[in-house]
Structure 1
């Protein structure tokens, strides 16, 4: 039988790149952090549907996932995040109750704006020829040994 202490949440995030190699960061309204748009999958939702829904809710953009770029586990909160490189195929950037602002960020901007655990997701997605990364973190910093 499944014990609540052994359960994990699964989240998805979309790293949207523009034609200049910059990634879209969203400033979250709840905590002010800069991150790739995304969120927790609903229990009855498939991964792609959840990704498209979460990105649209936070940005107003409709995206098409191109590639899985990384799997990340928050060891403190037991959240596994699946991150995808995406291309926009419709919609318009629109702030809302979840997002305060948007910024197209180059790799240095990403490192400056986002904490290490979230910046690495975006940086990994900015390299199209790498296999998906597998990383662990504590919510802020990467862990070398989970």
Structure 2
């Protein structure tokens, strides 16, 4: 019998006045990604988003729009990604992040795995509707 449970994660694509997105370099695997993580069981989506971004960047954010829904088919994780605006705080390394970089859509494609780069590209693009996509943890799936 297979396990039918999923986990839900959130990520915040923080966009600056120049239209660039903030990426963190994760301490655990060295990958460049938008800050975020798994929601706690009793936590609402926006509270979890703000908590995860603050824990990984030191910034307090306001979500502007849901910009994509993604499922990691190999791990059963559904990710909700939001375009965000930084309101307060100071960008700082944390237990979970070792470096930061402000990037354009073109630069994120060079830095991040396809499955994570597309989240940032989607957040920087004004889609008519929210994209719903699936991946295997690295590559996008049809």
CA distance in 1, matches of 2:24, 2:66: 20
SS at 2:3 equivalent: helix
Where does the alignment leave 5 or more consecutive residues of structure 1 unmatched? Answer: none
SS at match of 2:70: strand
Q: Structure 2 regions of 5+ residues with no counterpart?
A: none
Do structure 1's residue 24 and structure 2's residue 22 form an aligned pair?
Answer: yes
Cα separation, 2, equivalents of 1:130 and 1:118: 21
Instruction: Point out 4+ residue stretches in structure 1 off by more than 2 angstroms.
Output: none
User: What is the distance in 1 between the residues matched to 2:21 and 2:3?
Assistant: 35
- 1:88 alignment partner in structure 2: 86
1:55 matches 2:53: yes
- d(CA) in 2 for partners of 1:108 and 1:98? 25
Higher mean alpha-carbon deviation, 81-90 vs 121-130, is at 121-130
* TM-aligned CA deviation for residue 128 of structure 1: 3.0
| 2: CA distance, partners of 1:133 / 1:15 | 15
Partner of 2:32: 34
How many Å separate the matches in 2 of 1:130 and 1:93? 32
Asked if 1:128 is matched to 2:131, the reply is no
RMSD: 1.1
Instruction: Pick the aligned partner of 2:5 from 7, 21, 29.
Output: 7
Equivalent position of 2:100 in the other structure: 102
- In structure 2, the partner of 1:79 is 77
- Paired residues, what number? 142
The separation in 2 between residues aligned to 1:29 and 1:108, in whole angstroms, is 23
